[in-house]
Amino acid sequence: MAPLDHDHITQRLQSFPGWTLEPDGKGIRRSLRFADFGAAFGFMARIALAAEKMDHHPEWFNVYNRVDIRLSTHDAGGLTERDFRLADTIDKAFDDSTP
């Protein structure tokens, strides 16, 4: 699977305003905040199950109510459509988790 080219990535990112492109163009990042640790970890558990079904996995870091997420396709050495599919799953789950 070939990584997306830069024009395609910037065009795709317009549908993902919460995400930031890394300077080298190989990954996208989003930082999320929740009410507390339980809410953050519950969210991570839901995404972990969805990611496993998609066979596409996030890199992430959690402290208390914060979850920092990086998406990249390691097999391709850059961003692919699979990253944007997972970003969409994450965005929808986050929207559903906030009152």
Return residues touching ligand H2B (CB under 6 A): 55-57, 72-75
Q: Which residues contact 53 (CB under 8 A, 6 or more apart)?
A: none
Which is nearer to ligand H2B, 74 or 92 (by Cβ)?
A: 74
Q: Which residue has the tokens 């850059």?
A: 78
Q: How far is CA 43 from CA 8, 29, 36, 66, 88, in A?
A: 29, 17, 11, 11, 14
**C-beta atoms surrounding 32 within 10 Å:** 21
Min CB(62)–ligand H2B separation in Å: 17
Which is nearer to ligand H2B, 65 or 82 (by Cβ)?
A: 82
Min CB(38)–ligand H2B separation in Å: 26
Min CB(12)–ligand H2B separation in Å: 16
Is residue 56 within 8 Å of residue 73, measured between CB atoms? yes
Residue whose CB is nearest to ligand H2B in the complex, by number? 75
Which is nearer to ligand H2B, 31 or 98 (by Cβ)?
A: 31
Which is nearer to ligand H2B, 35 or 79 (by Cβ)?
A: 79
